[in-house]
Amino acid sequence: MIRRFHESVSGAGLTLLLLGVLLSSLRLSGAEVSASDAVLDAWLKSTGNLATLEARVVQTRHLKALRQPLVSTGHVWFATPGRFRWELGEPPRSVAVRSGDELLVLSPGLRRAERHRLDQAAEGPVRELLGLLDVGFPRDAAEFRGRFDVLEVRTNATATTLRLRPRSAAARRMMPGVSVDLGVDDWRLLATEMTFADGSRLRSEFSAMVTNGPVDPTRFRTEVPEGWKVEAKGGGL
């Protein structure tokens, strides 16, 4: 299931939102905990008024079987409450759209689509994945802290990096950890990186970002073109 999950997620561009990880037993000292809480509080405060986001994305996928990483360019849109659209490739080779309790994964070259339920009745990897994807756009501090442990905070001249660990055992089986790079002065989302259970990594770097600008609501429509093959799924992949 992990392999099918990894292929589907990375192929559909879902792995863009978001994050990279190192599974670690690192324990923070009291002083480090206070510092990490201060950084986390500042970031969460900065995202409280985020309504929309549009950005270019460069996605780099590192696989153990390949000497050179695979690089794709694309576009991402986000809007509250809980809507996003990822496109990879120009023209798009893979598209992922979330609107409400539905996730639509499109493969234009194959004229194929998958619909996934995301409501409370749905179980499995998709629901866990959505929790991880939301890490780049937190709005509720209590909910965020309920999903992730902060393992480490590092700051250099260009970025503040948060290394996180999902609290959910099911999420950790898919992605042992997550990292988020933020702007030093403005807490702007710069990059996310994900490490999968098989050791592969997926990094997404964002640029030309526009926040709280107008986003065409049709970006989040989940209609499937006529003549496409559609597969309906529950929460599993």
Tell me the HSE value of 175 on the side-chain side, using a 13 A CA sphere: 36
Specify the pLDDT at position 133: 56
Query: In the chain, what are the domains?
Result: 2-232 (2.50.20.10)
Q: Is 170 left (phi over 0), alpha (psi -120 to 50) or beta?
A: alpha
Tokens of 189: 């989302």
pTM of the model: 0.76
Q: What is the pLDDT along the chain (237 residues), one digit of tens a residue?
A: 434 434 433 333 333 333 222 222 223 334 444 667 778 788 878 777 788 999 999 999 999 889 899 999 999 998 888 788 999 998 899 999 988 878 898 999 999 999 887 765 455 555 555 555 555 666 667 777 788 888 888 989 999 998 988 888 888 888 888 899 999 888 888 999 988 888 899 899 999 999 999 999 999 998 898 999 999 875 444
